[in-house]
Amino acid sequence: MKAYLDIVRNVLEKGAVRHNRTGVDAITVAGVMFEHDMSQGFPLLTTKSVPLRLVASELEFFLRGISDKRWLQERDNHIWDEWCSPSIVPYAHDSATKQKMLEERDLGPIYGWQWRHFGAEYNGYDKDYSSKGVDQVKRVVNLLKTNPDDRQMLVLAWNPMDIEKVIPPFCHYGWQVTVMDGKLNLMWNQRSVDVALGLPFNIASYGLLLHLLCKEAGFKEGRLVGFLGDTHIYTNHVDGLKEQLSRVPMKLPLIRTNNFTSIFDWKYTDSEVIGYEHHPRIKFEVAV
């Protein structure tokens, strides 16, 4: 995907080295835009492999408003293993704390919980939050079906009341949909962007969300746009990204969702990519 590779080049060529909470320096630029026309294919990187299974299961996790990372682990998804709520285990870099974070299952009021229960009081992963807070996803779906010209189809994860209860605090903090000429467009906002590891997942995740909303409301797929704030490449990711820049991108795959009834009943196994050809995997270490 040229749009992604252009961001990589931009950061490597124009970025400034900065220190950050992880202890691993990052090359950073301020303010980048990602754009993709969904008619050109599903935005899954081809210069390395990005498993849709992991992207889709995390999205289902968000759409269900779950905050228990064991749900992901039971589906062989370990991208949240290193994290937990700092209200339970205060964040630190020492090995003992990292082990406690690994063992704790409560992630706190993270993305999906905010999507489905914004404004409610969070009391743990194992509580029943039915009808508590604002269900922003249901609100957007209802507007898509009843007033698709509305300009308030917006979902926020950034809740100032809860930013001390999650680590990292809401990197992608909001998304909006619009409908124009029968096409649904999705725009997401991201305050902090890990270009090597996080951004490929964010692109694919919001592309999949756009796809599901189109199936839910009967629109064609339009534009996917990301407004990216602190956009950075960790110094230990530079070599891997340079390897990607040397690779020739392949044709983007297509996305297909089977037996769809509702976005609220959708399971990650219902969606698959068709014709996904890609270069070999590149391993990047997570900056915790």
Catalytic residues, which ones? 171
Contact, 209 vs 175, CB < 8 A?
Answer: yes
Q: Looking at residue 97, what DSSP letter applies?
A: H
DSSP-derived 3-state class of residue 234: strand
Rounded distance, CA 120 to CA 22, Å? Answer: 30
Helix (H) or strand (E) holding 122: none
Q: How far apart are CA 191 and CA 57, in angstroms?
A: 23
The pair of three-digit structure tokens given for residue 173, joined into one six-digit string: 């903090």
Q: Which long-range contacts (CB under 8 A, 24 or more apart) does 168-174 make?
A: 168/83, 168/192, 170/110, 170/111, 170/114, 171/198, 172/111, 172/202, 172/206
Look-up: residue for tokens 């922003």? 136
The answer to whether the beta carbons of residues 233 and 34 sit under 8 Å apart is no
